[in-house]
Amino acid sequence: MDSVQPESDLKENRGSYFLLYRYILREFAQNFAVAFIFFFCIFFINSILLLVQRILLRNIDIITMLQMVALSMPQFLIYTFPFASLASSSMVLGDLGSSNELLALRSSGISSGHVYKPLIAASLVLSVVTFVFADVVLPWSSVVYEEKLSVLMRDMPTFEIEPNSVNTVGSIVLSNGESEGNEIHDILLLADDDGSGQSRTVVSDRGTLTLVDPYNFIYSLELDEPMILLSETGDIDSYGLSEAERAVFFLDFSEQIPSLTSSAPVNLSSRDLIAGIMDREEAEESDRADWHYAREDARLKYADELKKSTREENRNDLQQALSEADQSIMRRGEKPPINFYSQYFKAELAKKFVLSAACFCLTMITLPLSMVRVKHGKLTGFAISLLIAVAYWYMLFGVQLEIFSISSSPYLLIALPDIVILLAAIMLIFRFRRAR
């Protein structure tokens, strides 16, 4: 006769599992906070230094500074969440293994599956959070960032005219003596080659700097009695010197506007990316049809020339005709043409889902740690997570470089890092289970 487990024992087991889940989730949250800060600093530090260098040192208030920094964060968070999830899961399982807690749980009849459940649940929640940041928060922050940056740059002069100062923006250097408002004295203006093949050096005792186009950041510099030296770039022996009673120079700083975010596909929502893909599908299909038609036409011409070979006596003309037809086929290549923007939009759409799913996949690769006992659990787990993170990053970076070398859809190629990590996790789990 089969024994039936009393209802009180079932409730007790559920309570034990609840305590176990709560304990693991608490450890996961604590380690996640540490790992999150670590990876966030790695991704963010270079860009924040660039942001500080370009705009944050321009006498703006601390509130605006913090707003600009906060708005530039989401583009780094979509990478931080997966790697922090990987590191925290590795640290939790490494710590449980090194302290023999996993062995004690198994000795008590609690399977490893009950240890995995809270970690997998946490990774799925983080996958959803990552997708929300990638598909909602990032596009919104990008738009707001650009709006605030545009207003900030219009309110803030590109050249900060101070007495006895030197300002450099792009290829333009302006040195001045005393200044009052937008009127400056003892001016030395150096402008490198702007595409004309000439460099300019301008000297004037007095001038006025005025913002004439606040939307495109174009300034006019009106100079009194300037001396202008024109020289050929790279040729110091070729120059021209001229003087004038008055001269006006227009300084264009539109290309110098700093931006960490933009309306590029990486900052668009999935809805906008799908719309962009659909808009480009017609052009992509037209390019492919033209390619197939041109190749078939070249092949037909080649075939006609071969037919003529049986009745043509002028072999030189025949050889030239065959060569031209063959080259026409070769120029079109063996693969259909690739629509750059179509591939770009498809890759960015796939990457939103791939990075979101990475939280789950990277957590799965850490589960085999529960089946081995390691020393210095947290430290070892963190070290392993760094190796996996580097491998995943290189795979993701590598497949992104290949999307423009294939004519097929890049969805599967972009998903390859997640697929490799998930398959490796499944294989390791089954291998360790068989070994036990």
Q: What is the pLDDT of residues 196-235, one digit of tens each?
A: 556 778 888 888 887 777 656 677 888 888 888 777 655 5
Instruction: Quote the CA–CA distance of 355 and 357 in Å, as a whole number.
Output: 5
Based on the domain organization, do 55 and 101 belong to the same domain?
yes
Residue 286 included in any domain: yes
Whether residue 84 lies inside any domain: the answer is yes
Domain boundary among 282, 309, 342: 342
Same domain, 38 and 122: yes
How many domains would you assign to the chain?
A: 3
* Residue among 16, 25, 74, 76 at smallest CA distance from 46: 76
Q: Is residue 59 part of a domain?
A: yes
| 300 and 393 housed in the same domain | no
Q: Residues 336, 355: one domain?
A: no
- Distance (Å, whole) CA 353 – CA 299: 43
Q: Strand 218-224 and strand 183-191: pairing?
A: unpaired
Whether 2 is in a domain gets the answer no
Residues 387 and 403 both lie in one domain: yes
Residue 293 lies in a domain: yes
Residue where a domain terminates, one of 252, 283, 316? 252
Rounded to whole angstroms, how far apart are CA atoms 58 and 52? 9
Asked if the structure places residue 357 within a domain, the reply is yes
| Range of the structural domain that residue 338 is part of | 265-342
pTM of the model: 0.67
Which of 292, 315, 342 is the last residue before a domain boundary?
342
Distance CA 209, CA 182 (A): 5
* Residue 302 shares a structural domain with residue 422: no
User: Phi then psi for 224, rounded to 5 degrees?
Assistant: -95, 130
Q: Crossing angle for the helix pair 270-308 and 315-331, nearest 10 degrees?
A: 170
Tokens for 291?
A: 């390619």
Contact at 8 Å (CB) between 76 and 44?
Answer: yes
Q: Which two tokens stand for residue 353?
A: 């889902």
Distance from C-alpha of 149 to C-alpha of 429, rounded to nearest angstrom: 50
**Local confidence pLDDT in tens for the 436 residues of the chain:** 444 444 444 444 555 688 888 989 999 999 999 999 999 888 877 666 666 655 554 556 677 777 877 888 888 889 999 999 999 999 998 888 888 777 787 777 777 788 889 999 999 999 999 999 999 999 998 888 877 776 766 555 555 567 777 776 667 777 888 877 778 888 888 777 555 556 778 888 888 887 777 656 677 888 888 888 777 655 556 667 788 888 887 777 665 554 444 557 878 888 888 888 887 777 777 766 666 666 666 666 656 655 665 555 555 555 555 565 555 555 555 566 666 778 888 889 999 999 999 999 999 999 887 777 767 778 888 999 999 999 999 999 999 888 877 777 889 999 999 999 999 999 988 887 765 5
Is 258 a domain residue? no
| Residues 129, 217 within the same domain | no
Is the same domain home to 186 and 242? yes
Same-domain pairing of 172 and 293: no
Distance, CA of 291 to CA of 338 (rounded, Å): 11
The Cα 239–Cα 340 span in angstroms is 44
| Contact present, 253 and 224 (Cβ < 8 Å) | no
- 247 lies in the same domain as 186: yes
**Given this model, what pLDDT does residue 322 score?**
53
The C-alpha atoms of residue 135 and residue 129 are separated, in whole angstroms, by: 10
Does 133 share its domain with 13? yes
16 in the same domain as 112: yes
Helix, strand or coil, per DSSP, at residue 20: helix
Residue 160 resides in a domain: no
